């Protein structure tokens, strides 16, 4: 049976609602999965006008009431927002709703009512205004699933990147990098790719400083202190990993096929190359969780929200990858959620 994929609406003042509608216009989505939106039906109905869509919204309060038909968007309606919510503006109301959409999706995943979660973008400022003090989706997912060992993986054509640190400043990121964390991420990368069907993943690890420190010429020996012990430990366990290597050439080597995945030390080191390949093609995957979660690799784009011009390509790809990663089941267990 096609897996049930819950698509959280994200920040309703951003492009999330309209890219969801555009994704449902793609007939492939319903063919590969049973998608259900976790959000607000009133907001989705409003967004139909942005993209001139004739799709119908089926508002439900139980997963079992979804119809999963072409031409229909099943929306698990939390009824949190008014249709007068301003578009393209930060608001605590939208931030609060975005948190609760994700919270509900996590509960449904824990209850085995859905098979994977795919998230539209939220806005961190709006999230914080609503009193939900998290750096982003990843940290909410980790806390609400009691997960301590996790990492952000970005996937684009010809390149996969997994991060040691993410949403912290650069100076703080260097402080947080240590051999235990680097080793943990190497293990997560190896296990994730093996589950995805790569029997012996080739893993490469970025340095922190230019030229990976050039044997101590740049930096203060961070590579030798923070990265080398982790790589050696993983190698002793027969993991196919090399590094630390200079990041400025490593990503080129990965895109030509030398490596299956790159381990980046901090946010922009990993995000930059992925986004050069195209904002529409990148997908964000949280690894290490007990549930499957994928996401678009772009933000709420308040500047173009409500104009109907935002691309749905990243969301469609995120849904496709959620389907690939979702548990393979023959029948559902009939939960009345």
302 and 247 within one domain:
no
Q: Which long-range contacts (CB under 8 A, 24 or more apart) does 164-170 make?
A: 164/263, 164/264, 164/265, 164/266, 165/265, 165/266, 165/267, 166/135, 166/136, 166/138, 166/266, 166/267, 167/135, 167/136, 167/138, 167/139, 167/267, 168/135, 168/266, 168/267, 170/266, 170/268
What's the confidence (pLDDT) of residue 5?
A: 96
Residues 317, 250, 210, CA angle at the centre, nearest 5°?
125
What the block records as the tokens of 217 is 């010429």
What's the confidence (pLDDT) of residue 304?
A: 95
Give the whole-number percent of the chain exceeding pLDDT 90. Answer: 73
Q: Sign of dihedral through CA atoms 304, 307, 309, 315?
A: positive
What's the confidence (pLDDT) of residue 331?
A: 44
What's the confidence (pLDDT) of residue 283?
A: 84
What's the confidence (pLDDT) of residue 334?
A: 42
Through-space distance between the first and last CA atoms of the chain, rounded to whole angstroms: 18
What's the confidence (pLDDT) of residue 136?
A: 85
What's the confidence (pLDDT) of residue 337?
A: 46
185 and 81 within one domain:
no
Question: What does the pLDDT average to over 139-164?
Answer: 90
In a domain, 283, yes or no: no
Q: Each residue of 183-217: pLDDT tens digit?
A: 999 999 998 888 877 899 999 999 999 888 677 77
136 and 1 within one domain:
yes
221 and 199 within one domain:
yes
Q: Which residue matches tokens 């009824």?
A: 79
In a domain, 195, yes or no: yes
Question: Is the pLDDT assigned to residue 81 strictly greater than 80?
Answer: yes
Question: What does the pLDDT average to over 149-173?
Answer: 89
**CB–CB of 191/236 below 8 Å?**
no
141 and 5 within one domain:
yes
113 and 75 within one domain:
yes
108 and 248 within one domain:
no
CATH value at residue 141: 3.40.718.10
What values do phi and psi take at 116, rounded to 5? -165, 160
What's the confidence (pLDDT) of residue 167?
A: 82
Kindly give the pairing relationship between strand 283-287 and strand 293-296: antiparallel
What's the confidence (pLDDT) of residue 280?
A: 65
In a domain, 282, yes or no: no
What's the confidence (pLDDT) of residue 328?
A: 60
Q: Each residue of 243-281: pLDDT tens digit?
A: 899 999 999 999 999 999 999 999 999 988 988 886 666
259 and 313 within one domain:
no
Question: What does the pLDDT average to over 27-47?
Answer: 96
131 and 1 within one domain:
yes
In a domain, 113, yes or no: yes
What's the confidence (pLDDT) of residue 195?
A: 80
Q: In whole angstroms, give the CA distance from residue 62 to residue 77.
A: 9
pTM of the model: 0.82
168 and 258 within one domain:
yes
140 and 26 within one domain:
yes
Q: In whole angstroms, give the CA distance from residue 301 to residue 309.
A: 11
What the block records as the tokens of 90 is 């930060």
For the chain, what is the domain count? Answer: 2
3 and 143 within one domain:
yes
Report the range of poorest mean pLDDT among 195-199, 251-255, 321-325, 331-335. 331-335
Q: Each residue of 302-313: pLDDT tens digit?
A: 999 999 999 999
Query: Which residue range is the domain that position 192 belongs to?
Result: 158-276
């Amino acid at each position: 049976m096609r897996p049930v994929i819950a698509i959280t609406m994200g920040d309703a003042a951003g492009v999330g609602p309209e890219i969801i509608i555009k994704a449902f216009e793609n007939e492939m989505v319903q063919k590969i999965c049973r998608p259900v939106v976790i959000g607000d039906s009133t907001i989705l109905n409003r967004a139909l006008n942005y993209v001139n869509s004739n799709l119908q919204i089926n508002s439900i309060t139980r997963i079992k009431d979804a119809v999963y038909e072409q031409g229909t968007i099943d929306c698990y309606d939390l009824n949190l927002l008014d249709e007068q919510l301003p578009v393209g503006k930060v608001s605590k109301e939208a931030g609060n709703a975005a948190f609760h959409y994700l919270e509900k999706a996590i509960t449904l995943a824990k209850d085995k009512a859905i098979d994977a979660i795919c998230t539209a973008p939220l806005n961190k400022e709006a999230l914080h205004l609503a009193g939900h003090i998290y750096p982003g989706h990843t940290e909410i997912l980790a806390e609400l699933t009691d997960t301590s060992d996790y990492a952000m993986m970005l996937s684009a054509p010809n390149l996969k990147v997994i991060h040691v640190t993410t949403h912290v400043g650069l100076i703080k990121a260097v402080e947080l990098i240590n051999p235990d964390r680097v080793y943990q991420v190497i293990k997560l990368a190896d296990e994730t790719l093996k589950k995805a069907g790569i029997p012996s993943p080739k893993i490469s690890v970025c340095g922190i400083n230019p030229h990976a420190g050039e044997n101590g010429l740049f930096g203060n020996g961070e590579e030798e202190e923070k990265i080398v012990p982790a790589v050696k430990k993983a190698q002793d366990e027969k993991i196919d990993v090399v590094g630390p290597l200079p990041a400025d050439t490593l990503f080129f080597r990965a895109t030509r096929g030398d490596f299956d995945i790159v381990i980046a030390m901090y946010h922009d080191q990993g995000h930059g190359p992925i986004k050069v390949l195209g904002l529409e093609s990148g997908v964000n995957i949280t690894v290490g969780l007990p549930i499957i979660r994928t996401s678009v690799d772009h933000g709420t784009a308040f500047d173009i929200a409500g104009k109907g011009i935002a691309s749905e390509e990243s969301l469609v790809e995120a849904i496709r990858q959620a389907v690939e990663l979702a548990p393979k089941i023959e029948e559902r267990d009939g939960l009345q959620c």
